[in-house]
Structure 1
């Protein structure tokens, strides 16, 4: 679980997060959407212990992020814009390397499981630089869940993917949610956010302006709500909201 209270973060005079409140539980898939510069990536990086908030408190699985970052890193998996893979190693070798870093028990068995889950087993002996963007993204997600974390944080995981790769990532995230993982992702793609999420949070002016359950949304309600909050059409949403 994640509990964040009164999170603020500034870069110089620019306020990025302002008293942000956020709560999420196991099995939820939450898309964090907002205008460019709304603070989505900053919040992900703070949760990933890659950046410190200026103020506020965050608990992940009851650990205080400012007091127990090492314990929290054992509970989270992170996928950022860079896949964090080694192109001159095979898919299998990349996972072996990260399994050692994570201290994974019975790494051979776990790596086999990951390659099956990501549908990359047939390409496990190929160099990662020969992989498509979608294959690299799936391997990156596999890397992030090698140590069986409770929470998965993904920053724009669909960027640059073709339709087949999008479908593969959709299926992978759905399976992880069934397993009880808490998944938080940022997105500029309204269609994907609606397709994979159980909840969508709208980040505006540094705080969560609204939190919407997918099963309670109808028609263009999300686009309309986004526009009423931000005064803008959702980026990449296509037609104007009704």
Structure 2
């Protein structure tokens, strides 16, 4: 079943074309990685899917709803973890989630369950400003998961995390059971381990669509691709 359909998506900023005629489909339960060099258009695609940016042309359907026409309904279907934490310092971790719960008309009791899920229940009365980077990211993930979205959008989720925190993050995602994920990451190895497919973007277009489970040697593919675009091995 196709859950997400992206059809000829284009985004221009003045004379600059960030993405051009990007098309792809995502099946229910698929984990997709968006890879490519800086400026390839990865984050632009993700921001449009997250309803944070409006496309110049093209259409996006999420669970049969057209993004620009049914923006409010689409937002109920997606959870977003971006570079911005979307947390309010001055509120406790629990109060941050409770505020989000009220916006989405969610049972307030779910806040403690999600805090438990991300390993922060004992820190619920703390201000996020006192958290480590990894803890803030986990709280942001809790916020994204609170309304049980059908689709999770992750923008550089491993950025700034140490190896232990990266493992914890992946374990949380596996425990949550959010089946459909679109991830932007520069961490090729971890992204390839997590995702089912890789969409390789270059100069604003999809240059390759690779089934990662069909690769006999993912590490060889990573090395070959990074060499081709002039990136050092991660």
The alignment's TM-score, normalised by the length of structure 1, stands at: 0.90
Q: CA deviation at 1:175?
A: 2.6
CA distance, structure 2, for counterparts of residue 192 and residue 14 of structure 1: 31
> Are residues 236 and 101 of structure 1, via their aligned partners in 2, closer, same or farther at CA, if it must alter by over 3 Å?
farther
> Are residues 205 and 142 of structure 1, via their aligned partners in 2, closer, same or farther at CA, if it must alter by over 3 Å?
same
Q: Say which of 68, 71, 74 aligns to 1:69.
A: 71
Structure 2 matches for 1:59-98, cutoff 5 A?
59-98=61-100
Tell me if the contact between 1:41 and 1:186 (Cα under 8 Å) persists in the aligned partners.
yes
Q: CA deviation at 1:66?
A: 1.5
More divergent stretch after superposition (192-201 vs 62-71): 192-201
Query: Paired residues, what number?
Result: 231
Tell me if the contact between 1:3 and 1:23 (Cα under 8 Å) persists in the aligned partners.
yes
Q: Say which of 35, 38, 42 aligns to 1:36.
A: 38
In structure 1, the residue matched to 2:116 is 116
Cα distance per residue 1:90-135 (max 9 Å; x no partner):
211111111111111x221x11220121111121121111111111
In structure 2, the residue matched to 1:107 is 108
CA distance, structure 1, for counterparts of residue 221 and residue 33 of structure 2: 12
Q: CA deviation at 1:200?
A: 1.5
In structure 2, the residue matched to 1:147 is 147
> Are residues 82 and 236 of structure 1, via their aligned partners in 2, closer, same or farther at CA, if it must alter by over 3 Å?
farther
> Are residues 208 and 175 of structure 1, via their aligned partners in 2, closer, same or farther at CA, if it must alter by over 3 Å?
farther
Q: CA deviation at 1:221?
A: 3.8
Residue 226 (str. 1) matches residue 225 (str. 2): yes
Cα distance per residue 1:155-176 (max 9 Å; x no partner):
1111111112111111122233
Tell me if the contact between 1:77 and 1:151 (Cα under 8 Å) persists in the aligned partners.
yes
Q: Say which of 192, 197, 200 aligns to 1:199.
A: 197
Q: CA deviation at 1:87?
A: 2.1
Tell me if the contact between 2:226 and 2:232 (Cα under 8 Å) persists in the aligned partners.
no
In structure 1, the residue matched to 2:125 is 125
In structure 1, the residue matched to 2:18 is 16
> Are residues 85 and 226 of structure 1, via their aligned partners in 2, closer, same or farther at CA, if it must alter by over 3 Å?
same
The alignment's TM-score, normalised by the length of structure 2, stands at: 0.93
Tell me if the contact between 2:87 and 2:140 (Cα under 8 Å) persists in the aligned partners.
yes
Q: CA RMSD in A?
A: 1.6
CA distance, structure 1, for counterparts of residue 232 and residue 185 of structure 2: 10
Q: CA deviation at 1:21?
A: 0.7
CA distance, structure 2, for counterparts of residue 216 and residue 225 of structure 1: 16
Q: Say which of 195, 213, 228 aligns to 2:211.
A: 213
